[in-house]
Each structure stands twice: as C-alpha cells, then as structure tokens.
A and B are shown apart, each in its own frame.
Chain A
Amino acid sequence: MKRPRIVVGIKWVPNTQAVRFDPKTGTLIREGVPSIVNPHDLDAIELALKTREKYGGEIIVVTMAPPGAEEGLRHVIGMGVDRAILVSDRVFAGSDTLATSYTLAKTIERIGRVDLVFFGQETIDSSTAHIPAQVASWLDLPYIYYVESIEKLELKENKVVVKRKLEDRYEWYEVELPVVIGVAMHSNPPRPISLTNKLRAVTEKPIEVWTNKQLGLDPRCIGLRGSPTIVSKVTWQPEIPRKRKIYQGNPKEAVKWLIKHLEEEKVLP
C-alpha cells in the first residue's frame, strides 16, 4: 500500500521574548538572543505526526537557516519526525519571503514525490504568512490555510479531506493531492520530546545539509539578489501601561462599573 510522504516546512526564529528595541538607534537588539523553532510550526509537526500515526508514511522536515538551526531540527526529530533537511548556504543569506519560498519550493521538488506539505500558520518574528502561499504558487499546488485536522486521506484516489476553522464556522475541503496546508495556530499542541527519538537525532544522522551545490538555483532568484522587499523603517509600539483596575462585587454592578470606566477612559464614546 502506498504511504503518504509529508513535508513540513519550519522556521528557526529568534525567541522574540528576548528581542529588545533600542529606541535611540531604532533597531532591534538581537545580540545574545537564542533561537527556537517557530512555535506555530510545532502545530504543523504535530498534525503531521498524527497523520502518520493513522496512515503511516514518512515525515521530512525542511528548513532554510544557518547551521545553528540543527538544534531546532533535533528538537522536532525528538518529537518523532523521520528526517530533516537543512538548506544552508551563504548564498541564501538575506532572503525575503519571495526568495525563501522559491528556495523551499525547489527543495521540495528535489525531495521527489510528496503528498502533503505542511506549514505553521505564521511565524512569530515576522507574521507575514507568505511562505505557504508562495510555496504553493511556485509548485502550482492548491493551498488551504487555518487547517485543524486531516479528516480523510485517500492516496489511491489521490485526495484528502481537511477541516479548517474560521472565526464563526468550520469548513471541510476535499482536494487533490499534493496540497499545501497551513496549520492553524494552537490547533495541535505539540507532543513531548521522546527519549529514544531524541537519542536518534544525536546518534544516527537524520539531518542532511543541502547547499546550493545540490539545489543549483539561479543566484538572481535567491538570497539578497532574489529579494525585492525593502525594509525602510522599523518602529516600536511601546507597551501601554495597564491601569490594573479590578472590580470586586456582583456582576450586575460590574457591568455598570465597567461601562463607566470605559467611558472615562474614552474607550467607549
């Protein structure tokens, strides 16, 4: 029986909790800030693992990052993914979402047969949510986002039914494979790291490093040269100090109290 091949694209991002803003120079202080796997990508990994539990197959994680990202790849291998590809080369430095999605799409092409491509909903360091859509576009594949679960996967018929969550409703889609799927944030909380999987991440060699030697991409389409985005300015929205007013008493009075205070603060007209 045919087993699904699932690719999950993840991003190695600076832990934004630790990033500070220097108001004098108007730049982000990234010095000494450790990186983590983008938390929303872990939902995608988890959904991939659940899919594999049900239908078997193989999960391959792909990321484009400097060599330090191996730590993050070991983390997701610790969760149970089968293998990982680290796309890492100086020529990819300075990529915007266009160049990144192009590089990732070419990487996925090179992997060979792929049935499902998962991404997290967005990243915590830029929140553009460009990548899954652009990868789908490069690969000329359908793209469904806010997906919560895989309802039915029929490789023989070459189709999948997914459920996605919108603000006010659920929607079910039946699509032809392969398909790119954006997994809704917080929809699939990641499972713990397992001892034997983590051990495998260290003792076996499940992480391959691909440079542009393997991919052979046109230098005009990758890295800084392939990136038309210009960041003109970064500004900082300082946190608004909380008033920390707490009402204690019965709910009926609380409503009046709340409206009165919201009016005073000019939140309500």
Chain B
Amino acid sequence: MSSRESGNQQLLKIQRIDDLLQRNLWDVDHRPHIVVDTSRCTDCEYKPCVLLCPAGCYTLVDSKLLFSYEGCLECGTCRTVCPREAITWNYPVSGRGVLYRFS
C-alpha cells in the first residue's frame, strides 16, 4: 500500500520527483505506452528530455540515458523536444496512467 500519512512536516523542503508523483492517483499499465530507442541518445548533446520531462522519466546513469514510463504525466514534452526522434510516443490505453482529480 503506497498510502502516506497526511501532514506536511516533510513538505518544508524540496520534494523529490517520486514524492511529487506519489501525490497523484495512478493506474499504471504493465505495458509501456512510450518506447525510447536509447541507442540514438548516445551522441545527443543536450538530452533535453532529462531536464524538461516534468515527471523525471528520463535520467542519466553513468551518462547513459535511462527511461521509465511509470510516472509519465502524458504531456508530450519529450516527444516534442527530442532532437533524435528516438521516442515512439502514445497515450496509455484502457484509461490507465495518471488519473487527475484536481487539475
């Protein structure tokens, strides 16, 4: 169970992206809705996805790009900024993914 205690002591400092995403309601599909061909990323200079994905789905580990679709907010930014067209982008099926209630 990923429920958390209400209260905001821990909110007095900058939240990690995972903790921010935990605020939302999710029904994540076991099938990824976005596929990244990371072989195209090695010679990508800016890797704009890393800073601009608002869900932090793109991270660098030992300067290699690592992608995880689970926290995706379905905004389309990565697809737009990727200079290598390395991203096969779509929305999740069956109503899965993020479930907004207050936005």
Contact = CB atoms under 8 A, between A and B. Distances in A.
| A–B touching in complex (CB under 8 Å) | yes
Contact of B30 (A78, A189, A236, A239): A189
A23 B2 contact: no
Interface in B74-103: 93-95, 99, 101
Nearest to A32: B101
Given A17-B25, A34-B25, A192-B94, A239 B6 contact: no
B6 A22 contact: yes
A34 B101 contact: yes
A124 B2 CA distance: 11
Contacts of B31: 189
A29 interface: yes
B67 interface: no
Contacts of B13: none
Nearest to A28: B3
A224 interface: no
B37 interface: no
B5 interface: yes
Given A17-B26, A189-B31, A192-B93, 6 more contacts: A16-B3, A17-B1, A18-B3, A20-B4, A23-B7, A189-B30
Interface of B: 1-7, 25-27, 30-31, 62, 93-95, 99, 101
